[in-house]
Amino acid sequence: MDPAGSSKKNSYTYEDAQGIAENILARVKSHPKLAIICGSGLGKLADMVEDKEVIPYGDIPGFPVSTVPGHEGKLVFGTLSGKSVVLMQGRFHCYEGYSAQQTTLPVRVFHLMGIKTLFVTNAAGGINRGYNVGDIMVIKDHINLAGFAGVNPLVGPNDTRYGPRFPPMSRAYDLDIRKLALSLAKEMGFGDFIREGVYSALIGPNFETVSECKYLQVVGADATGMSTVPEVLVAKHCGMRVFGLSLITNIVIDEYDAESTANHEEVLQTGEMRSKDLQKLVAAIIQKLDL
């Protein structure tokens, strides 16, 4: 299947992204400085938004469309904790058939719309044996496993209007917002299920084999998923402040003869179960943030 209705696109010019940004801004009253990408089953974060203005992805020329259950495929503009925001209710993944450049086009569009801070959220499998289903992990770093295999949205000609050819990626996840999130989570009584750890991403769409899980444990990952990393690379390349949360929707299976298997339904159910807590945490962080 060709999800975008056109062939897989491996590059967009600055002007392509600028055209999409202008098209979007012309349709909405608010011009936010903060964007939030909602992970699988986490689209309910948009329930908190007031004075909503909604644009389905299909109405935005040149924008990809969502093909995965739990990703509605809408941009939701409005106010959250008194601040102007835009949420992506649904992200794009390479396993849908999109290139890394297509999955991250929205981040460049956000940059050209004036977004300075990006919140990324995702559903992830717990690799760390101390984690439980329903834990919320503040992302302190990531391992770009797809990058090791050559999948990286920054591959290709570099447009210095976005950023440098060789962007640093240490301190990718903003330390001040991480500290704020951890302390707010404790104040809110979330101490038993708030964590801080390392997110790793494979391409998917299959869940990991047992040996792959064991490998991820050895290399220092605490959680694993199929997204987020490309978005963060592009956001950092164009100078955004980035904060990330993983919801641990399942614990990865690391025993060869275990009978249970990972499945997307469990991922979506855990998203539903923790959605109110995630909403409260995100709202509290945004309230305290200088944008």
Ligand X SMILES: O=P(O)(O)O[C@@H]1C[C@H](O)[C@@H](CO)O1
Contact region for ligand HPA (CB under 6 A) — 11-19, 46-54, 71-79, 246-254?
246-254
CB of 223 to ligand HPA, least distance (A): 8
Name beta bridge partners: 76.
54, 87
CB contact at 8 A, 138 and 247? no
Q: Helices then strands (H, E): number in the chain?
A: 7, 9
Q: Report 120-139 residues binding ligand X (CB under 6 A).
A: 122-123
Structure tokens at 243: 């904060």
Q: Which amino acid is at 137?
A: M
| 249 interacts with ligand HPA by CB under 6 A | yes
Report d(CA 141, CA 174) in Å as an integer.
10
Query: If binding is defined by CB under 6 A, does position 113 make contact with ligand X?
Result: no
User: Interface residues for ligand X in 26-85 (CB under 6 A)?
Assistant: 39-40, 68
d(CA 49, CA 44): 10
Stretch that binds ligand HPA, among 14-22, 42-50, 120-128, 154-162 (CB under 6 A): 120-128
- Which is it for the CA torsion 279, 284, 289, 291, positive or negative? positive
Residue of 40, 122, 144, 200 marked active site = 40
Q: Which is nearer to ligand X, 174 or 208 (CB)?
A: 208
Q: What are phi and psi of 100, to 5 degrees?
A: -60, -35
| Alpha-carbon radius of gyration of the chain | 18
Is 103 a residue that touches ligand X (CB under 6 A)? no
Is 225 an interacting residue with respect to ligand HPA (CB under 6 A)? Answer: yes
Q: How far is the CB of 91 from ligand X (least distance, A)?
A: 5
In angstroms, how far is the first alpha carbon of the chain from the final one?
Answer: 40
* Minimal distance, residue 117 CB to ligand HPA, in Å: 24
At 106, give phi and psi (nearest 5°): -55, -30
Q: Is 95 an annotated catalytic residue?
A: yes
CB 242 within 8 A of CB 235: yes
Indicate which residue of 53, 81, 95, 196 is catalytic.
95
State the amino acid at position 124 in one-letter form: A
Q: Is 40 annotated as a binding residue?
A: yes
Number of residues engaging ligand X in binding (CB under 6 A)? 14
Structure tokens, 247:
């919801």
Spatial CA neighbour of 244 closest among 125, 111, 140, 104: 140
Task: Work out which of 33, 93, 111, 195 binds ligand X, going by CB under 6 A.
Answer: 93
Q: Is 236 in the site for ligand X (CB under 6 A)?
A: no
* 250 a catalytic residue: yes
125 binds ligand HPA (CB under 6 A): yes
- Cβ atoms of 223 and 124 within 8 Å: the answer is yes
Can you say which residues are annotated as belonging to the binding site?
A: 40, 71, 91-93, 123, 208, 227, 250
Can you say which residues are annotated as belonging to the binding site for phosphate?
A: 40, 71, 91-93, 123, 227
| Residues known to be catalytic | 40, 71, 93, 95-96, 123, 226-227, 250, 264
Can you say which residues are annotated as belonging to the binding site for a purine D-ribonucleoside?
A: 208, 250
Residues that bind ligand HPA (CB under 6 A): 123-125, 207-208, 224-226, 249-250, 252, 262, 267
